[in-house]
Amino acid sequence: MSPAPSGPAGVRRPQRILITGASGCVGQYIAELLLRETDAELLLLLREPSKLTAVAATDPRITLLVGDLRDLGSPGADPALARAIAAATRIIHTATAWGDPERARQVNVEAVKTLLSLADPEQLEQVIYFSTASVLDRRLRLLPEASQYGTEYIQTKALCLQQLEDHPLAARIVAVFPTLVFGGRVDGSGPFPTSYLTAGLGEAARWLWLARWLRADASFHFIHAADIARVCLALATAPHEANPEVGQGALRRIVLGQPAVGVNETVRRLGQWRGCWLPPWGLDLRGWLVEGLIRLLRIEVNAWDRFSIRQRHFVHEPISPPERFGRVSHAPTLEAVFADAGLPHRGPVPRSPER
């Protein structure tokens, strides 16, 4: 654990770590790990305490801050929230919003400004700000198409990143960019909330009968929420330093992910896990065929969807799994993700029939 602020007569005080979005999937993995492996006091900012399942709200090291980020700094806001934010030595900002453009702007842009304005520069050592890897290109530069074609979520994340680059606290901010996030259990059991991607594993398994006949030249990174928590633990328990990354500005950019995996490889490994026979060939999903399927099936696609179809390979260099910070990944492979999610394993893959 890094040296924490000292109290009277040099007595060491534990870090006070504020986590926003603390009832979400990633927020709960972070809170549970920090509670288990550090002596930090945790300030958990959330809207619905009933959704907090991975840690005990009654733990003496936990303080619940119940409120909406959009209300911070408003005349009617609880002054206790402002005092708690000002007392934080570290902030891990995971809270986000999507779906409604106005709400996304308020939460993903305006609330971030307010949150940082309420922090005490004399107390605050570090901010770990959560964005999304979708706004970055391969070399971790801001992707122009994110602002041009992105959904309200992606556009507001891109805008916030641009503003943070010039923020007075930029040198204390570490921006982390998760790739595709797994977490929790497929059936919703267990202490952690289920991420949207993990929830979709069961549906993906049900479509294997079709997917195994298709081929797509595309690739991506993934990361488990437990491994996101491991990286946050490493960052939040080390002395903050000036950005050591080559070619970046004051604001450090870290893409959280395991090595890239192809879509075809993913289907193959999911098929093996489910005991589904996979043919040695398949129909290549090229641009014209994808466009035909979209029209035939009357699938709604937006500008970002079309850009993603053209882009195909959402990969980044460098990526940062826990190993980059001296930690060991909880789920470094897709098979580990399937097992952790409780996706039923159907045994060895049957041999293909003799020809």
For 195-249, write each residue's pLDDT tens digit. Answer: 999 999 999 999 999 899 999 999 999 999 999 999 999 999 999 998 999 889 8
What pLDDT score was predicted for residue 194?
A: 97
Question: At 184, is the pLDDT very low, low, confident or very high (cuts 50, 70, 90)?
Answer: very high
What pLDDT score was predicted for residue 12?
A: 65
What pLDDT score was predicted for residue 5?
A: 57
What pLDDT score was predicted for residue 294?
A: 72
The model's pTM is 0.92
What pLDDT score was predicted for residue 125?
A: 97
What pLDDT score was predicted for residue 348?
A: 62
174 and 254 Cβ atoms separated by less than 8 Å: yes
What pLDDT score was predicted for residue 355?
A: 33
For 272-320, write each residue's pLDDT tens digit. Answer: 999 998 898 888 887 777 777 777 767 777 888 888 888 889 999 999 9
Averaged pLDDT for residues 248-261: 96
What pLDDT score was predicted for residue 7?
A: 53
CATH 3.40.50.720 correct for 13-183+222-256 = yes
Least-confidence region, from 31-40, 150-159, 173-182, 341-350: 341-350
68 and 111 Cβ atoms separated by less than 8 Å: no
User: At a CB cut-off of 8 Å and minimum separation 6, what does 166 contact?
Assistant: none
Averaged pLDDT for residues 249-255: 94
Q: Average pLDDT of the chain? A: 91
186 and 199 Cβ atoms separated by less than 8 Å: yes
Question: At 349, is the pLDDT very low, low, confident or very high (cuts 50, 70, 90)?
Answer: very low
- The residue written with tokens 């882009």 in the block is 311
What pLDDT score was predicted for residue 3?
A: 46
What pLDDT score was predicted for residue 354?
A: 40
End-to-end CA distance of the chain: 61
What pLDDT score was predicted for residue 82?
A: 92
135 and 143 Cβ atoms separated by less than 8 Å: yes
Averaged pLDDT for residues 140-161: 96
Q: Which two tokens stand for residue 93?
A: 């900002």
